Amino acid sequence: MAGVLITGFEPFGGEAVNPSWEVVKRLDGAIIGGQPVAARQLPCVFGDALTALNAALDELDPVLTLAIGQAGGRVDITVERVAINVDDARIPDNKGLQPIDVPIAAGGPAAYFSTLPIKAIVTALRSRGIPASVSQTAGTFVCNHVMYGLLHSLRHRSGAKGGFIHIPYLPEQAAAHPGEASMAVETVQAALETAPGAPAPKASHTCGHHGDHHSQGASPGHTLGWLLTAVPVAAIRRSITRRCGCRTASTTAADRRP
């Protein structure tokens, strides 16, 4: 078991780009914390996304998997706490599938918690001047589907950690959604490259995925590297075993979109 798998999604919902893939593809081929980083694009399709994810897990056997997705309308980087065992699509996916109230894993636990240190990540990002918060819901669309499926698969991979981060629209997307928040791809990239106590990224820093600093074995400046080196490898894996009947409505802007 080695390396980092980081995933982003193809565009969906009529968008021309998906910010998750725009940032994730920049990290493909990097060496972070001495670990190779592999980026994979997932289809925004129920089922197919997990087929692609599980193929990547089998191929790479990563020690850390970080899945990234777009959450248009959210105002900051949101580190997801939990994935729930339901598909309930607000819009059709990219194959026209629109499951309603369908379990992701029949007989599976009602939910899985992220095995990432979500609050430490948020604190680290804020300390570096990057807006971030914990999210209590990954929605019920393909991102939640992938987060649940990821954690469901990782339960068989002792020591492997994983979680999900939602990111806002890119500015060019928000321009077509007046009033919506956005975040530049460079800022999101910096979020993945910034760790507690690390020097702030240089303003001129526009690394591509094979930039020099990525080649350094040590990882003081990278969130991913920090996760690999500073967090106990034993996953903080917990699952909610009781079924939750909660139908709490989404009430905040941060919860508005999948």
Binding site for ligand PCA (CB under 6 A): 9, 12, 18, 20, 44, 69-71, 139, 141-143, 258
Q: Is 143 a catalytic residue?
A: yes
Q: Which ranges of the chain would DSSP assign to H, the alpha helix? A: 19-24, 48-60, 118-127, 142-154, 171-174, 185-193, 212-215, 223-230
Q: What is the DSSP letter of 26?
A: G
Residue whose CB is less far from ligand PCA, 141 or 148: 141
Among the options 143, 145, 207, 214, which is catalytic?
143
CA–CA gap between residue 80 and residue 133 (Å, rounded): 9
- 81 to each of 135, 197, 218, 247, how far by Cα in Å? 6, 24, 28, 17
Q: Is 80 a catalytic residue?
A: yes
- Bridge partners, residue 239, by sequence: 112
Residue whose CB is less far from ligand PCA, 135 or 194: 135
Q: Is 244 a catalytic residue?
A: no
Question: Residue 2: what residue type?
Answer: A
CB of 89 to ligand PCA, least distance (A): 9
Residue whose CB is less far from ligand PCA, 193 or 255: 255
CB of 52 to ligand PCA, least distance (A): 13
* Backbone phi and psi for residue 182, each to the nearest 5 degrees, phi listed first: -150, 165
Residue with smallest beta-carbon separation from ligand PCA: 143
CB of 35 to ligand PCA, least distance (A): 24
Residue whose CB is less far from ligand PCA, 7 or 187: 7
Among the options 15, 22, 80, 180, which is catalytic?
80
Residue-wise DSSP of 110-168 = SEEE-SS-HHHHHHHHHHTT--EEEES---SSHHHHHHHHHHHHHTTSTT-EEEEEEE-
Among the options 15, 145, 152, 166, which is catalytic?
166
CB of 240 to ligand PCA, least distance (A): 20
Residue whose CB is less far from ligand PCA, 16 or 203: 16
CB of 163 to ligand PCA, least distance (A): 14
| Residues that are catalytic | 80, 143, 166
